Amino acid sequence: MRQARSSQPSGGRRPVRATLVALLAGSLLFTAACSDSKSPSWQGGGNGSGSNGAAGTAESGSPSPEPTLSTVAVTSPAAAATGIEAWSDVKYTSEDPENTTVKVTDAKGTEVKGTVDKDAKVWHPAQSMAWGTKYTVTVSTPAVDGKNNETTSDFTVMKQPANLVRVTSFLGDGNVVGVGMPLIMKFGRAIPEKYRAAVERNMVVSATPAQEGTWGWISPTEVHYRPKVYWKAGTKIDYKVQLKGVKMGDGWYGRSDLTVDLKIGRSMVMTVSNKTKKMTVTQDGKVIKTIPVSLGKPSTPSSSGTMVVIEKKEHTVFDTTDEDPSGGYRTDIDFAQRITWSGQFIHAAPWSEGVQGKRNVSHGCVNVSEAMGAWLFSRTMMGDVITVSGTEEKLKNGNGWTDWNMSYSAFKQMSALS
């Protein structure tokens, strides 16, 4: 400190000027620091980026880009087209597909239900459109600066064709069936293979609780649906069959739509062993009865495989005299439950009670006593499962509802969508 003072020049004014200059400089620095901490609005908002006021002014003065309208157009069906099929998609173009809306309405302004695939730019109808009806398509994106951005086009669905295929469900509303019951749809005309996938897509099965399943074509006129494993007891099922207007080949179209609601009952499975000559009856996972049986004798063996109860008749007559005039028979039967189309039943057979559980003497049926026939008949329902094992003959697929006589993967291969 002394060394610094000794270096100052003599005289009193110069040190005072130096001090004033220093104070003024300090004051300016302080003012600049305060100004920097609270930038004025014209400096660009004080974004803390370190840019100076001039740069901020240049940024705020840049013009914003003008918003532009997205170009939209309907490409299919063509404008004013006629003879359009009732399940036709609507295709369109848009520069802003994410924000594009598509609406299809009839002449009364009622909107047709459908779904939009924004990636493919396609609207899919959720129901068939009415025969001979004119529809309007409106495709739009959000308005810009008050300017609407939409286009419209119209088309007319074909008149009702002369060739319509009748579609029926074997099961009806309110049915309660067994855990092995397939859902069965029949067609009044053979469906060519190339059209079966479209048919399947329009037959949607919903189950509560949800269970994996698939359709499988039993023949060109019949398609079944089964789950991967037996239906869960108490399952509620509804299926929607929307085949009105669906193309079915050679100028033929589906006639109608239908819906079915039904329920699966308790679980009952019958297991028959040729080795033990006994039937084990299991209900909801617990064995409730073991019943002696007599199966088909070697010349008319019972079929080994998994079947389901197709129909039940408390009293009926078995008559094979037309098929075999010399060796046929005609017999009254009680508590008959059909399990194959070829004529195998579970039924009461009082004439074979002495050998039931010991020898096979039937013509292919599963014989039980009169008492056990009545007991079973009172508890079973259509769709209950019966598996027979150890006989001389294998069950042929198609001889009854044999959907369970194959693996799920094999059944799935029968689907047109596999």
**Are 238 and 287 contained in the same domain?**
no
Tokens 């291969």 sit on residue: 413
12 in a structural domain: no
Distance CA 262, CA 9 (A): 114
Distance CA 163, CA 157 (A): 16
55 in a structural domain: no
**Are 194 and 280 contained in the same domain?**
no
354 in a structural domain: yes
In this predicted model, what pLDDT tens digit does every residue of 109-136 receive, in sequence order? Answer: 999 999 999 999 999 999 999 999 999 9
**Are 278 and 384 contained in the same domain?**
yes
Low-confidence ranges of the chain (pLDDT < 50): 1-60
34 in a structural domain: no
Residue 52 confidence (pLDDT): 40
Domain tally for the chain? 3
Cis check: omega of the bond before 125, within 30 degrees of 0:
no
Residue 320 confidence (pLDDT): 78
Tokens for 252, please give them: 């033929």
CATH number for the domain harbouring residue 110: 2.60.40.3780
Residue 66 confidence (pLDDT): 55
**Are 225 and 288 contained in the same domain?**
no
Which DSSP symbol is given to 37?
H
Sheet holding 366-368, edge to edge: 311-319, 330-338, 345-348, 366-368
Amino acid, res. 129: M
**Are 169 and 83 contained in the same domain?**
no
Which residues are CB-contacts of 268 (< 8 A; sequence separation ≥ 6)? 178, 179, 281, 282, 283, 379, 380, 381, 384, 385
Task: List the Cα angle 319/322/323 in 5-degree steps.
Answer: 95
Please report, for the chain, how many H helices and E strands are present, in that order. Answer: 6, 29
Out of 213, 247, 265, a domain closes at 265
Out of 157, 190, 208, a domain closes at 157
* 359 phi and psi angles, rounded to 5 deg: -135, 160
The pTM of the whole model exceeds 0.75: yes
Distance CA 316, CA 148 (A): 74
Residue 33 confidence (pLDDT): 38
Out of 242, 265, 288, a domain closes at 265
- Name the residue among 389, 408, 375 with its Cα closest to residue 307: 389
Helix/strand/coil for 67:
coil
Residue 56 confidence (pLDDT): 42
Residue 68 confidence (pLDDT): 59
Provide the domain limits for residue 286.
268-404
**Are 365 and 299 contained in the same domain?**
yes
Tokens for 208, please give them: 């509560």
Residue 64 confidence (pLDDT): 54
Helix/strand/coil for 307:
strand
